[in-house]
Amino acid sequence: ISMITGEPCTADVVAKSPIRALVLPVDAFDEMRLDHPEIEIALSQLVSDRLGYQARDALCGKKLDAYRPQRCIGTGAMGVVYEATNESNDSRCALKMLRHRFIYNPRVVSRFEQEVDLLRGLQHPNIVSMKGHFVAYKTRFMVLDLYNGTDLRALIRDTGPLDEETAKAVLGQIADGLRHAHQSGVLHLDLKPANILIDQQGHVAITDFGLSKLIESDGCDSESVGTPLYMPPEQFTMTNVGTHCDTYALGCIAFDLVMGERLYGHHPSMELVDLKFVEPYEDWPYIEASTDYRDMVCDAVRPFVCDRKVDLDIIASWARDVPELGKRLSKVQQR
């Protein structure tokens, strides 16, 4: 970590037997990596492999800008999230770090910077807000609100499905945040239970806008982005991408909440695209909920965009905090 970041090494090593030390002076190393940039790329991958896989890793306790990471609270393919202390006012926050293995990948760096730009313009109670951003240890960080809870994926996995009224209250909060994003010209494109945070008071917020794009953006990605289980058919080819992609994902989440399992979770990934072109029918999807709730799910997951009749205003009207979920959250955190 010290070699790639240029920060002083803080680790201590005690030899228990005689050793032979081989020393590479800093100047010599700097000259070598200028001649061989692949060395720095390899080092960045090693650093990435060391960070984010334990509750306390090599970054915990170090000062990054005005922040000091205390523990790792989340990991993803491209990022690591830490609970941190803001030493300027002794408050707590979340730090989202771009993994070091991507710091030389222009496309991934661009996505991270795009997320910063998008979150800067999204201020809503049901969207995790960004408080700032900075560069440290050769990578990029975002300062985000800290949620003292878990995500919906972990909640459902560890404590089971929700009753319909509670599910509607949660969906209403998601829809309210999603509606604000759409009104601000932003598509999420990776809406799923793992990207929905819920705190001890039962307040819900959407997070991880790393795959988002502007509704009026010129052109689109040449390959699909998102999580296949929650993507509509058109998102696999990134054609006709719009707000209907997010409402499709919302319908899949609505199924998860009351059934405790994923709508397409029993099918291999290779079959998903074909399955998503099947129209809902009397026996599918089977949902243990009211007719109105089932109709909402069916309308959201229609294969063709023109048939999806989902009104976010109506769903958002269901929004309320659900403090009764606090007991469930305690069970998840104890595990």
111-134: pLDDT as tens digits? 899 999 999 989 999 999 999 999
d(CA 127, CA 130): 9
CA distances to 54, 58, 298, 322 from 72, rounded to whole Å, are 7, 10, 38, 27
Give the count of beta carbons closer than 10 Å to the beta carbon of residue 55.
Answer: 10
Which amino acid is it at 88? S
**Which pTM value belongs to this model?**
0.87
Taking 80 as the threshold, does the pLDDT of residue 264 lie above it? yes
Radius of gyration of the chain (CA): 22
* 242 secondary structure, DSSP code: S
* 206 secondary structure, DSSP code: E
pLDDT digits (tens, 9 = 90+) for 157-196: 999 999 999 999 999 999 999 999 999 999 999 999 999 9
Q: State the catalytic residue, choosing from 65, 145, 151, 190.
A: 190
Grouping H, G, I as helix, E, B as strand and the rest as coil, residue 118 is: helix
Taking 70 as the threshold, does the pLDDT of residue 335 lie above it? no
Taking 60 as the threshold, does the pLDDT of residue 214 lie above it? yes
CA end-to-end distance (rounded Å), the chain: 32
pLDDT at 275: 87
Q: Is 190 a catalytic residue?
A: yes
